[in-house]
Amino acid sequence: MKTYRIYAPSSSDPTSLNPAENVKFVKEGYSFLAAIFGPFWLLAKQMWFEALGYFAGLIIVLNILSFFGLNEIGSTALLYLVSAIFGLFANDIEAQHLEQKGYDMAAIVTGSSYELCEAKYFQSLSVQGTQNGADT
């Protein structure tokens, strides 16, 4: 089972004419793509400052460790370790980024695939819409 946190633009956002178009799904758990591609994953998600911080932090740490005599094998091992740890926290970083951009967590959905989770979420919206329309 896969679990996704769904983020929607804030209801007070006047630029969102159709909030369903701007809904973002953030997967819970480990992100293999983020672990493998690191800062490029951040760039693909349009997290510019986070990618810059990743690059800068990595360069600073590697320069400090090479100053103290860490060889190439140690540097490579450190890169793998940083990548593995980044994969653990990447989806939480994305969620925090969305919250800073003014998105609110709208729901948590579980399902066997992304498509099923997406369908469940939008179906729940349509059911809520018909119930709200019937109440008025």
Instruction: Tell me the C-alpha distance between 126 and 136, whole Å.
Output: 16
110 domain-assigned: yes
Instruction: Tell me the C-alpha distance between 51 and 43, whole Å.
Output: 6
Question: Domains in the chain: how many in total?
Answer: 1
Amino acid at 35: A
Domain that holds residue 11: 2-119
129 domain-assigned: no
125 domain-assigned: no
Q: Is the pLDDT of residue 24 over 80?
A: yes
The HSE-up count of residue 55 (CA atoms within 13 Å, CB side) is 11
136 domain-assigned: no
42-56 pLDDT, tens digit each: 999 999 999 999 999
103-118 pLDDT, tens digit each: 999 899 999 999 999 8
∠ CA 18-123-10, nearest 5°, is 35
56 domain-assigned: yes
131 domain-assigned: no
132 domain-assigned: no
